Structure 1
Amino acid sequence: MSAEVEVAIVEIIVQKLGVKIEGVTPDARLVEDLGADSLNILDIALEINEIFEIEIAAPGLSSVRKVADLYRLTMETFELR
């Protein structure tokens, strides 16, 4: 499941931000490196929620800085289900 989640998150980021897939690495910073703003991050989280039928809590998004943080938050949300 984790590889599937990682691939999906990368694809969502590429689609929502219009960036090249090569730039979407675990250490890539969503704002500084990929050009996201807070609304983009929320939009990405909403898409993750829809695809995986989970509910990432908005307060948890405040800790998301890197792609790896978004992946971690998604996996934590799976564990709470």
Structure 2
Amino acid sequence: MNESYNLELLFENEEGKARKITIRRPLDGLTEEVVSPVMQAIVDSDLFDDEGLDRYAVASSARYVRTTVDEVFTTAEEK
């Protein structure tokens, strides 16, 4: 069994479409008080302007995502 653990920062662009930044192997136990100001700094930075469209205009939420992969079989070439 193989498990991965990510933190997803969810935003909306100026058109209201969902955007996401995924952080691999984040610190465990982060809270809204820690993550929210960081997300707001991303919004305020305007670093991700795409031809006049702010790709990260609104910080909407953050979540931890765990993914578990259970191998059924693996060929010798894939090892």
Say whether the fold is shared (TM-score over 0.5): no
Larger RCO, structures 1/2 (Cα 8 Å, 6+ apart): 2
- The structure whose residues are more often strand, as a share, is 2
Q: Which has the larger radius of gyration?
A: 2
- The structure whose residues are more often helix, as a share, is 1
Length-normalised TM-score, structure 2: 0.30
